[in-house]
Homo-oligomer: A and B are copies of this chain.
Amino acid sequence: MLPTQSVPHTPRQNHLLAALSADSFARLAVNLELIAMPLGAALCESGGQLQHVYFPTTAIVSLHYVMEDGASAEIAGIGNEGVLGVSLFMGGNTTPSQATVQTGGHGYRLKAKQLMEEFDLAGPMMRLMLRYTQALMTQMSQTAVCNRHHSVEQQLCRWLLLTLDRLPSNELTMTQELIASMLGVRREGITEIAGNLQREGLISYRRGHITVLDRAGLESHTCECYDVVKKEFHRLLKDAKAAQGFA
A131: which of B65, B92, B120, B184 is its contact (CB, 8 Å)? B92
Given A134-B91, A184-B149, A235-B92, A141-B67 contact (CB < 8 Å): no
What is the copy number of this chain in the assembly? 2
**Which chain B residues lie closer than 8 Å to A90 at the CB level?**
130-131, 133-134, 137
Check if B138 sits within 8 Å of A71, measured CB to CB: no
Can you name the residue of chain B whose Cβ is closest to the Cβ of A240? B91
| Set of chain B residues within 8 Å of A130, measured between Cβ atoms | 89-91
A32 at the B interface (CB under 8 A): no
Q: Say yes or no: is A145 at the interface (Cβ < 8 Å to chain B).
A: yes
Give A172 Cβ to nearest chain B Cβ, in Å: 22
What B residues does A141 contact at CB under 8 A? 63, 65, 75-76, 95-97, 140
Contact of A68 among B122, B184, B224 (CB under 8 A): B224
Majority SS at the chain A contact face: helix
CB-based nearest B residue for A229: B96
CA distance A22 to B153 in the complex (A): 54
Q: Mark A131-171, 1 if CB is under 8 A from B, else 0.
A: 10111111011111101110000000000000000000000
Is there contact, CB below 8 Å, between B91 and A236?
A: yes
Interface residues of A (CB under 8 A from B): 63, 65, 67-68, 71, 73, 75-76, 86-87, 89-92, 95-97, 120-122, 126-127, 130-131, 133-138, 140-145, 147-149, 184, 224, 228, 232, 235-236, 243
| Complex A-B: 26 CB contacts under 8 Å | A65-B141, A67-B224, A73-B148, A73-B149, A75-B141, A75-B145, A87-B134, A89-B130, A90-B133, A90-B134, A91-B236, A92-B131, A92-B236, A95-B134, A95-B141, A95-B232, A96-B138, A96-B232, A121-B122, A122-B126, A133-B137, A136-B137, A137-B137, A137-B140, A143-B144, A147-B147
**Contacts A73-B144, A137-B137, A149-B184 supplied; 14 other A-B pairs, CB < 8 Å:** A65-B141, A71-B149, A75-B141, A86-B134, A90-B131, A90-B134, A91-B127, A91-B131, A92-B131, A97-B141, A122-B122, A136-B137, A140-B140, A140-B144
